[in-house]
Structure 1
Amino acid sequence: MPGGPSEREERVSMELTEEIVKSMEPGAAFRDYNGRISSMDFHRGSNYLVTASDDESIRLYDVANATCLKTINSKKYGVDLVCFTSHPTTVLYSSKNGWDESLRLLSLNDNKYLRYFKGHHDRVVTLSLCPRRECFISGSLDRTVLLWDQRADKSQGLLRVQGRPAVSYDDQGLVFAIAFGGYIRMFDARMYEKGPFDIFSVGGDDSEANVVKFSNDGRLMLLTTTDGHIHILDSFRGTAMSTYNVKPVSASSTLEASFSPDGAFVISGSGDGTVHVWSVRSGKVACWPSTAFEPPVIKWAPSCLMFATGSTELLFWVPDLSKLGSFVGMK
């Protein structure tokens, strides 16, 4: 029974170790893209992955069976960022056509638009959906962050920023972060109009923010910047824990990084296309080369020993058991 005790126990028992992470390599590859993958997202409660690509396609994958279930084209609007809602076949995505910056709620089942969200006047560069309520936040190069309810066309709130923003809800949906200009501003989602309740510095790195994320347990945050820095902070006190460095990225690219489900590892792309992973506790674990020369889109799967990277191809990375003397850490 999905979501029953046995499934929850199985998820909890999966323990990543440095040996397992080092052994990971592509187990499935999808090379039928005609453009660069710009975004991807795993659904929190199913085996689905969705991708957005510069070839104007949205693709739905079954990760467990490594199959593409559906391809939907968005030729009129293009597609840039894509996120799952709570429903495994409903996604929110941003445009990439230069003339319509609306966000769209799309049913992948029947390829129907459920709602349009109009309010931004330049490209949307960051999206985060609330994990507990039907809300989301978006940030744009128009220097605004808008707060939305999925059931309403118009935004519920507006915050102005002084730079390119990166936004993220925490795992409880109670707090959200907005990063720009070398600082991360923390907001209470219920009283955001009062301004940030805390402001964290990232050590003088005032290059443009790319992504900000919380670990699943909410204790850690990461921020990536165009200068190739991945900052790890304590999300309660704002204290800097470590900074990892990779090749800088161009202004048109995004340096993406992602926590492992247990928060013990951070995986990141790089400006030269390589993939890096660090142990939050002990530092660098592994680096994998790439034939691409731009940072890959990168995400850990929420509940299995796998991560995905996207460039001009989509790769599912899994442990190579033959590299391990014994599968240490699996119970």
Structure 2
Amino acid sequence: MKITDSVLRSFRVARTYRENSQKVNCVDFSPSGENAISSSDDDCIVLYDIREGKPKSTLFSKKYGVDLIRYTHGDAQTVVYSSNKLDDTIRYLSLTDNQYIRYFPGHTARVIALSMSPVDDTFISGSLDKTIRIWDLRAPNCQGLTNPLGKPVCSFDPDGLIFAAGVESQAIKLYDLRAFDKGPFASFETRFNRFCDWTGLKFSNDGKQILISTNGGMIRVLNAFNGSVLHTFSGYNNSKGISLEACFTPDSQFVMIGSEDGRVHVWSTESGMKVAVLDGKHPGPINTLQFNPRYMTFASACTNMLVLDSYREPAHSWDKEYDQFLLPLLTPQEPCYILYRLDSLNAQGYEWIFIAWSPDQSPVRQKMVYAATRATLKKEFGGGHIKDEMFGTVEDDLCFQGYLRHMSSCCSPAPLTAAEQELQRIKVTEARRALQQLKQRRINYIQLRLDVEKETIELVHTKPTETHELPYRIPTDSPRYHFFIFKHSHQGQRQEALVFIYSMPGYTCSIKERMLYSSCKNRLLDDVERDYQLEVTKKMEIDNGDGLTEDFLYEEVHPIEHTLKQAFAKPRGPGGMRGNKRLIKDAGENGEES
């Protein structure tokens, strides 16, 4: 069957595997396409039978860890992989008896690229030690070494005669394997119009194109002979700077990449047009993606998986069933999310309590995973349905009496941190004067920052700002609070709307910054609205200013007045309407979809 636009659009999830407790970091197909193998951060190597569609066996590399696993040339019984725990040695493993055949020591820093020759037993590796090493499976010693003068990603071409190295996220160097010691025979630069790191490099099967993957929401296809840019693909989600793997289809006619929202985006390498967006049924970012070289299948894996563990149907009022339903679900060593339905309604339907259970005895890593996925689950469920949130480490925190105590405490004034106390004294700072001027419409823009060490709010500037200038006011390397008066026309009348923007760029900021900015945001807004009688029309959180166009602001300030059904497929309960369930519990186990 030929791969076409319509064929790609018809792809659906055929199998889902949850064999791992931590992230799957790599997937590879055997040359015959009949087998697949995955490596994971939980030190597991899982073998899959593609014809039968099920896992065959699981091997372990507990001592060394496992990453970048690759089948060897023409052999589905041996693999090579890098270590991610004990050292930076590459290991050659027999899958039949789970015995190491050979070690390949030499790298002095983490291996970030590994590529097998498609024609013989040669393979190459790139490392953070800024070297590319050439190896032969039959000998433990390095067969060649080149220093590309930067952090490299590398790959063989389909003929096995040339390999390419992407260096320092800005240049590609081509080497002849037979004369690599003479340096690259061709070099060309390609710079992206945004800051990002190159995370992968691959040749198409016809050898005519090179694919560059990045962590910046953009991938690029180059002419393999002269380095000219053929296509630049974007429009998929990667706001957190995750390393998302991209790949060609076997016929070299399409490029695919996963996204932060669990979908797979596909473009034509001929027209440059996006031809499909596939629902991968992933609850998290798709970090690994590979197309089968022989069969019409591809595999994808995501970072985290939320799994429905149990649910209950309501029979009486919510308060009478609360302890009966909820307390049996609180296991002493396993965190979980619980969504408990109230009997009250709002404009979107029944109201719910969002409960995060994280017992003290549970492993630290599980606690970290839950903390990282909490916001995603709330967003997927629909924040408009959630009336209250609770967090507990012991049963007393979450029992019915604990809920009543929680509601009582929410009605009382919260104790203030040093930063919040400073916000109360904002009237004696420069920020006070700026807010007063904003109220009087003498200025139309304010930018504020938090001094993390002093835990104080400071004024950055109040430069006059037009709407088209707003994206350039958003720093790309530090968080900020912004107040902007958006002047626009609505239904034939000139209007003004005060917009509050909380910008927090990627993961370049420290955890302390994130926590302080997040905790002080609501207090700042309360003080501004109470002390200065400034009515904030729209509050938004962003990671960069690229999307702050006039149309976007208009749609945020004047949303289309119709109710959208909130999509909630993760975790998925039994059939029927959401209102028929009293309680939903998420086991929240890490897993992967393939």
Partner residue, 2:276: 286
Query: Partners of 2:26 and 2:188 in 1: how far apart?
Result: 27
Aligned partner letter, 1:197: F
Kept in 2, the 8 Å contact 1:82–1:92? The answer is yes
1:315 is displaced (CA, Å) by 3.9
Write out per-residue CA displacement over residues 268-301 of structure 1, whole angstroms, 9 at most, x where no aligned residue: 1234443211111231012235544334200010
Query: Partners of 1:46 and 1:239 in 2: how far apart?
Result: 32
Partner residue, 1:4: none
Aligned partner letter, 2:299: A
Aligned pair 1:192/2:180, yes or no?
yes
Residue number among 197, 217, 221 corresponding to 1:208 in the alignment? 197
Q: Does the C-alpha gap of structure 1 residues 29 and 293 become closer, same or farther in structure 2, counting only changes over 3 Å?
A: closer
Residue number among 286, 301, 308 corresponding to 1:310 in the alignment? 301
Residue number among 114, 118, 123 corresponding to 1:127 in the alignment? 114
1:199 is displaced (CA, Å) by 1.2
Residue pairs, 1:209-248, within 5 angstroms: 209-245=198-234, 246-248=236-238
- Greater Cα shift, 157-166 or 110-119: 157-166
Residue pairs, 1:18-37, within 5 angstroms: 18-37=5-24
Query: Partners of 2:10 and 2:243 in 1: how far apart?
Result: 26
Residue number among 45, 62, 66 corresponding to 1:79 in the alignment? 66
Partner residue, 1:174: 161
Kept in 2, the 8 Å contact 1:77–1:100? The answer is yes
1:250 is displaced (CA, Å) by 5.2
Write out per-residue CA displacement over residues 102-134 of structure 1, whole angstroms, 9 at most, x where no aligned residue: 110000000000000001111111100111111
Kept in 2, the 8 Å contact 1:38–1:81? The answer is yes
Query: Partners of 2:136 and 2:122 in 1: how far apart?
Result: 4
Aligned partner letter, 1:302: P
Query: Partners of 1:220 and 1:77 in 2: how far apart?
Result: 35
Larger C-alpha radius of gyration, 1 or 2? Answer: 2
Q: Does the C-alpha gap of structure 1 residues 38 and 236 become closer, same or farther in structure 2, counting only changes over 3 Å?
A: same
Query: Partners of 1:273 and 1:202 in 2: how far apart?
Result: 29
More strand by share: 1
Residue pairs, 1:242-261, within 5 angstroms: 242-245=231-234, 246-248=236-238, 253-261=242-250
Partner residue, 1:136: 123
Aligned partner letter, 2:50: V
Query: Partners of 1:208 and 1:150 in 2: how far apart?
Result: 30
1:244 is displaced (CA, Å) by 0.5
Partner residue, 2:87: 100
Aligned partner letter, 1:25: R
Q: Which runs of 5+ in 2 are unaligned?
A: 305-590
Q: Does the C-alpha gap of structure 1 residues 204 and 27 become closer, same or farther in structure 2, counting only changes over 3 Å?
A: closer
More helix by share: 2
Aligned partner letter, 1:308: A
1:222 is displaced (CA, Å) by 0.4
Residue pairs, 1:309-328, within 5 angstroms: 309-311=300-302, 312=304, 313-316=591-594
1:247 is displaced (CA, Å) by 3.4
Q: Does the C-alpha gap of structure 1 residues 201 and 271 become closer, same or farther in structure 2, counting only changes over 3 Å?
A: farther
Identity of aligned residues (%): 38
Q: Does the C-alpha gap of structure 1 residues 250 and 90 become closer, same or farther in structure 2, counting only changes over 3 Å?
A: farther
Write out per-residue CA displacement over residues 49-70 of structure 1, whole angstroms, 9 at most, x where no aligned residue: 0100111100111111102111
Secondary structure at 1:156 match in 2:
strand
Normalising by structure 1, report the TM-score.
0.86
Write out per-residue CA displacement over residues 244-272 of structure 1, whole angstroms, 9 at most, x where no aligned residue: 11334656x42211100101111112344
Kept in 1, the 8 Å contact 2:237–2:259? The answer is yes
Count of residue pairs brought into register by the alignment: 301
Partner residue, 2:32: 45
Aligned partner letter, 2:70: C
1:204 is displaced (CA, Å) by 4.1
Choose between structure 1 and 2 for higher RCO, CA contacts under 8 A separated by at least 6 residues: 1
Query: Partners of 1:57 and 1:144 in 2: how far apart?
Result: 28
Kept in 2, the 8 Å contact 1:210–1:224? The answer is yes
Moved >6 Å (runs of 4+) = none
Kept in 2, the 8 Å contact 1:249–1:294? The answer is no
Q: Does the C-alpha gap of structure 1 residues 202 and 273 become closer, same or farther in structure 2, counting only changes over 3 Å?
A: farther
Partner residue, 2:53: 66
